[in-house]
Chains A and B, each alone.
Chain A
Amino acid sequence: MDDIFKPSRRAFLRGSAALAAGGVAGAAAADTPDQLITELQDWASYTGVGVDETPYGMPISFESHVVRRNVEWLTASPISSINFTPIHALEGTITPQGCAFERHHSGAIELSKLDYRLMINGLVDQPLVFTYEDLERFPRENHVYFCECAANTGMEWAGAQLNGVQFTHGMIHNMEYTGVPLRTLLKEAGADISADKWVYVEGADASSNGRSIPMEKALDDVLVAFKANGEALRMEHGYPVRLVVPGWEGNMWVKWLRRIEVTDMAVESREETSKYTDVLEDGTARKWTWEMDAKSVITSPSPQMPITHGKGPLVISGLAWSGHGKITLVDVSKDGGITWETARLGKQGDTKALTRFYLDMDWDGAPMLLQSRAMDETGYVQPTKEQLREKRGENSVYHNNCIQTWYVNAEGIAENVEVS
Chain B
Amino acid sequence: MSKSPNLLLPALGGTALVLGVAFGLMNRDYAADKIDTLEMRVDQVSTQASSAAEKAKVEAARAAELEQQVAEIQAAAAKQVAGGTLAEPAPQIEGRYGLGRAALAEEIAAWDVDVLPDGRGLPEGSGDVWTGEEVFVDYCASCHGDFAEGVDNWPVLAGGFDTLANEDPVKTVGSYWPYLSTVWDYVHRSMPFGSAGTLTADETYAIVAYILYSNDMVDDDFVLSNETFNDVEMHNAEGFIVDDRADVEYAEWSVEPCMESCKDEVSITMRSVFLVETPPEGGSNSVMNPAKVDDLPSFTAAGPSFIPAAATKPAEAPAPQVTEVAVADDGDALLKHGEKVFRKCSACHAVGDGAKNKVGPQLNGVMGRIMGSVEGFGYSNVFAEANAAGKVWTPEEMAAFLAKPKSYIKGTKMAFAGLKKDEDLDAITAYLASFAE
Q: Does chain A bind chain B?
A: yes
A residues with a Cβ closer than 8 A to B are: 1-7, 12-13, 15-17, 19-20, 22-24, 64-65, 67-73, 75-77, 79-80, 105-106, 119-122, 126-131, 134, 137-143, 158-164, 167, 180-181, 183-184, 187-190, 200, 202, 206-208, 210, 258-259, 261, 263, 265-270, 273-274, 277, 279, 281-291, 293, 303-304, 308, 310, 329, 331, 335-340, 348, 350, 364-369, 373, 375, 378-381, 383, 387, 391, 394-395, 407, 409-413, 415-420
The CA-CA distance from A291 to B310 in the complex, in Å, is 44
Q: Is B153 an interface residue (CB 8 A)?
A: yes
Of B13-21, B28-36, B182-190, the one with at least 4 CB within 8 A of chain A: B182-190
Q: Is B231 an interface residue (CB 8 A)?
A: no
Can you name 21 A-B residue pairings with CB atoms under 8 Å? A15-B318, A68-B282, A76-B154, A119-B112, A127-B108, A138-B90, A161-B273, A163-B274, A187-B96, A261-B114, A270-B190, A274-B182, A285-B164, A304-B278, A338-B265, A339-B259, A366-B303, A416-B271, A417-B272, A419-B268, A420-B263
| Besides the known contacts A263-B116, A286-B242, A411-B317, 4 further A-B residue pairs in the complex with CB atoms under 8 A apart | A270-B182, A284-B240, A286-B245, A331-B259
Chain B positions 176 through 194: 1 when the CB is less than 8 Å from some CB of chain A, otherwise 0: 1111011001100110011
Residue of B nearest to A288 (CB): B243
Q: Is B368 an interface residue (CB 8 A)?
A: no
B257/A331 in contact, CB under 8 A: yes
Name the distance in Å between A256's Cβ and chain B's nearest Cβ: 13
Residue of B nearest to A410 (CB): B307
Name the distance in Å between B9's Cβ and chain A's nearest Cβ: 32
Residue among B101, B268, B280, B297 having the largest count of chain A Cβ atoms under 10 Å: B268
Q: Decide yes or no: A16 and B308 within 8 Å by CB, A128-B103, A138-B99, A339-B301 being known contacts.
A: no
Q: Decide yes or no: A287 and B271 within 8 Å by CB, A143-B87, A340-B258 being known contacts.
A: no
B316/A1 in contact, CB under 8 A: yes
Q: Is B249 an interface residue (CB 8 A)?
A: yes
Picked from A7, A159, A335, the residue with its CB within 8 Å of the CB of B301 is: A335
By a CB distance below 8 angstroms, the chain B residues around A379 are 254-255
Q: Decide yes or no: A71 and B284 within 8 Å by CB, A274-B176, A378-B250, A418-B269 being known contacts.
A: yes
Residue of B nearest to A416 (CB): B272
A130/B190 in contact, CB under 8 A: no
Name the distance in Å between A42's Cβ and chain B's nearest Cβ: 24
B268/A417 in contact, CB under 8 A: yes
By a CB distance below 8 angstroms, the chain B residues around A373 are 257
Q: Decide yes or no: A269 and B274 within 8 Å by CB, A20-B320, A128-B102, A207-B190 being known contacts.
A: no
Name the distance in Å between A25's Cβ and chain B's nearest Cβ: 11
* Nearest 9 A/B pairs, CB to CB: A283-B164, A336-B266, A283-B165, A76-B153, A139-B90, A206-B196, A127-B103, A416-B272, A163-B272
Q: Decide yes or no: A159 and B273 within 8 Å by CB, A20-B323, A284-B240 being known contacts.
A: yes
B186/A265 in contact, CB under 8 A: no
By a CB distance below 8 angstroms, the chain A residues around B107 are 119, 129
By a CB distance below 8 angstroms, the chain A residues around B97 are 137-138, 188
By a CB distance below 8 angstroms, the chain A residues around B152 are 76
A282/B165 in contact, CB under 8 A: yes
Q: Decide yes or no: A287 and B274 within 8 Å by CB, A206-B190, A261-B112 being known contacts.
A: no
Chain B positions 99 through 113: 1 when the CB is less than 8 Å from some CB of chain A, otherwise 0: 111110001100110
Residue of B nearest to A161 (CB): B273
Picked from A2, A13, A283, the residue with its CB within 8 Å of the CB of B277 is: A2
Picked from A65, A383, A417, the residue with its CB within 8 Å of the CB of B280 is: A65
Residue of A nearest to B306 (CB): A367
The CA-CA distance from A380 to B252 in the complex, in Å, is 9
By a CB distance below 8 angstroms, the chain A residues around B304 are 366-368
Q: Which residues of B (87-101) have their CB < 8 Å from a CB of A?
A: 87, 89-92, 96-97, 99-101
Q: Is B197 an interface residue (CB 8 A)?
A: yes
Q: Is B330 an interface residue (CB 8 A)?
A: no
Residue of B nearest to A350 (CB): B85
Residue of B nearest to A183 (CB): B92
Name the distance in Å between A379's Cβ and chain B's nearest Cβ: 4
The CA-CA distance from A19 to B318 in the complex, in Å, is 11
A279/B171 in contact, CB under 8 A: yes
Residue among A3, A105, A162 having the largest count of chain B Cβ atoms under 10 Å: A162
Q: Decide yes or no: A65 and B278 within 8 Å by CB, A162-B286, A395-B169 being known contacts.
A: yes
By a CB distance below 8 angstroms, the chain B residues around A411 are 310-311, 317-318
Q: Is B283 an interface residue (CB 8 A)?
A: yes
Chain B positions 324 through 351: 1 when the CB is less than 8 Å from some CB of chain A, otherwise 0: 0000000000000000000000110000
Name the distance in Å between B141's Cβ and chain A's nearest Cβ: 15
By a CB distance below 8 angstroms, the chain A residues around B96 are 187-188, 190
Q: Is B299 an interface residue (CB 8 A)?
A: yes
Picked from B257, B280, B303, B358, the residue with its CB within 8 Å of the CB of A22 is: B358
B266/A337 in contact, CB under 8 A: yes
By a CB distance below 8 angstroms, the chain B residues around A183 are 92
B116/A265 in contact, CB under 8 A: yes
Residue among B118, B248, B277 having the largest count of chain A Cβ atoms under 10 Å: B277
Residue among A70, A291, A410 having the largest count of chain B Cβ atoms under 10 Å: A410
The CA-CA distance from A80 to B155 in the complex, in Å, is 12
Name the distance in Å between B287's Cβ and chain A's nearest Cβ: 10
Q: Is B10 an interface residue (CB 8 A)?
A: no
By a CB distance below 8 angstroms, the chain B residues around A5 are 276-278
By a CB distance below 8 angstroms, the chain B residues around A281 are 165
Residue of B nearest to A303 (CB): B272
Picked from B101, B114, B239, B263, the residue with its CB within 8 Å of the CB of A337 is: B263
B284/A167 in contact, CB under 8 A: yes
The CA-CA distance from A411 to B267 in the complex, in Å, is 19
The CA-CA distance from A354 to B152 in the complex, in Å, is 37
By a CB distance below 8 angstroms, the chain A residues around B267 are 419-420
A338/B301 in contact, CB under 8 A: yes
A70/B284 in contact, CB under 8 A: yes
A258/B111 in contact, CB under 8 A: yes
Name the distance in Å between B240's Cβ and chain A's nearest Cβ: 5
Q: Is B167 an interface residue (CB 8 A)?
A: yes
A106/B166 in contact, CB under 8 A: no
Q: Decide yes or no: A273 and B178 within 8 Å by CB, A289-B243, A391-B249 being known contacts.
A: yes
By a CB distance below 8 angstroms, the chain B residues around A286 are 240-245
Residue of A nearest to B300 (CB): A338
A121/B103 in contact, CB under 8 A: yes
Q: Is B415 an interface residue (CB 8 A)?
A: yes
Name the distance in Å between A329's Cβ and chain B's nearest Cβ: 8
By a CB distance below 8 angstroms, the chain B residues around A106 are 190, 193, 196
By a CB distance below 8 angstroms, the chain B residues around A331 are 257, 259
Name the distance in Å between A132's Cβ and chain B's nearest Cβ: 11
Q: Is B359 an interface residue (CB 8 A)?
A: yes
By a CB distance below 8 angstroms, the chain B residues around A139 are 90-91
Name the distance in Å between A290's Cβ and chain B's nearest Cβ: 7
Chain B positions 231 through 247: 1 when the CB is less than 8 Å from some CB of chain A, otherwise 0: 00000000111111100
The CA-CA distance from A337 to B266 in the complex, in Å, is 8
B254/A380 in contact, CB under 8 A: yes
Q: Decide yes or no: A381 and B255 within 8 Å by CB, A127-B102, A137-B99, A269-B114 being known contacts.
A: yes
By a CB distance below 8 angstroms, the chain B residues around A190 are 96
Picked from B112, B257, B289, B346, the residue with its CB within 8 Å of the CB of A381 is: B257
The CA-CA distance from A380 to B318 in the complex, in Å, is 41
Q: Decide yes or no: A336 and B190 within 8 Å by CB, A16-B319, A137-B97 being known contacts.
A: no
The CA-CA distance from A417 to B308 in the complex, in Å, is 16
By a CB distance below 8 angstroms, the chain B residues around A16 are 318-321, 347
By a CB distance below 8 angstroms, the chain A residues around B286 are 71, 73, 162
By a CB distance below 8 angstroms, the chain A residues around B415 are 364-366, 410
A367/B308 in contact, CB under 8 A: yes
